[in-house]
Chain A
Amino acid sequence: DVVLTQTPPTLSATIGQSVSISCRSSQSLLDSDGDTYLNWLLQRPGQSPQLLIYSVSNLESGVPNRFSGSGSETDFTLKISGVEAEDLGVYYCMQATHAPLTFGSGTKLEIK
């Protein structure tokens, strides 16, 4: 199975601060169709996960543009440019290039 390693495991930020989360894959996530199926999800406390970014850098509809994704092959980054209070929760990367789908261990974002 593809192992996704997220760092840091926890992140403490003030409102307005910019932060980044790293996701490293044990295998290249570049699919034979040319796409890279690396997504980012946010799970707010007590809620289901919600999709933020799909295929590395595509912003899901309705998601604020302070969220951005980048990367390729095995190294990926989620950046929040100007954290807001509603951004607290656990961020997960997940891959859908290789079966079975797998998720990172999560990065908990706390607001100072």
Chain B
Amino acid sequence: QVTLKESGPGMLQPSKTLSLTCSFSGFSLSTSGMVVSWIRQPSGKSLEWLAAIDWDGDKYYNPSLKSRLTVSKDTSNTQVFLKITSVDIADTATYYCALGVRDWGQGVMVTVSS
């Protein structure tokens, strides 16, 4: 059974760096074809794809945010990370990680506020 769970700071101040972790089980990110994405959703709004990393370590970013994003994975292939630099109030959202489009985590709420 595939499970994913996001974790993060909950709240942080503008201009800081947001660090998120996606911990997963039920699959190996080293298996060919596996891709884990980060997607966010401001309250009451639609979804925005942010970044992804695949089984080969290749990384993909949304061009609109690329300069602020870094996606990575751990060497044991059980966690994926996302860093967003210089956060702003507009980065307040629920952040999801997902395996492909089929399996989603429960999401973690992040509030950017001074």
Chain A residues engaging chain B, CB cutoff 8 angstroms: 1, 39, 41, 48-51, 54, 60, 92, 94, 96, 99-106
What are 5 A-B residue pairs whose CB atoms fall within 8 Å in the complex? A1-B63, A54-B101, A99-B60, A100-B63, A103-B47
Q: What A residues does B7 contact at CB under 8 A?
A: none
Chain B interface residue bracket vs A: 10 to 19
Instruction: Report if A101-B37 is in contact (Cβ < 8 Å); known contacts: A54-B101, A92-B46.
Output: yes
Among B8-16, B70-78, B104-112, the one that faces the other chain is: B104-112
Query: Which partner residue on chain B sits nearest A90 by CB separation?
Result: B46
Assess the A48–B47 pair: CB atoms within 8 A: no
Query: Which partner residue on chain A sits nearest B35 by CB separation?
Result: A96
Q: Give the distance to chain B from A107, nearest Cβ to Cβ, in Å.
A: 11
Q: Give the distance to chain A from B93, nearest Cβ to Cβ, in Å.
A: 13
Residue B24 interfacial (CB < 8 Å): no
Assess the A49–B49 pair: CB atoms within 8 A: no
Assess the B63–A94 pair: CB atoms within 8 A: no
Bound Cα distance A98, B49 (Å): 12
Q: What A residues does B47 contact at CB under 8 A?
A: 49, 92, 94, 103
Assess the B104–A49 pair: CB atoms within 8 A: yes
Choose one: A94, A99, A102; the contact of B101 (CB below 8 Å).
A94
Instruction: Report if A48-B107 is in contact (Cβ < 8 Å); known contacts: A92-B46, A100-B63.
Output: yes
Q: What A residues does B60 contact at CB under 8 A?
A: 99-100
Q: What A residues does B81 contact at CB under 8 A?
A: none
Q: What B residues does A49 contact at CB under 8 A?
A: 47, 96, 104
Residue B48 interfacial (CB < 8 Å): yes
Bound Cα distance A1, B105 (Å): 25
Contact with A along B74-114 (1 / 0, CB 8 A): 00000000000000000000001000011011110000000
The 9 closest A-B pairs by CB, nearest first: A101-B49, A48-B104, A103-B47, A100-B62, A105-B46, A51-B102, A106-B46, A103-B46, A100-B49
Assess the A39–B101 pair: CB atoms within 8 A: yes
Choose one: B49, B61, B106, B107; the contact of A102 (CB below 8 Å).
B49
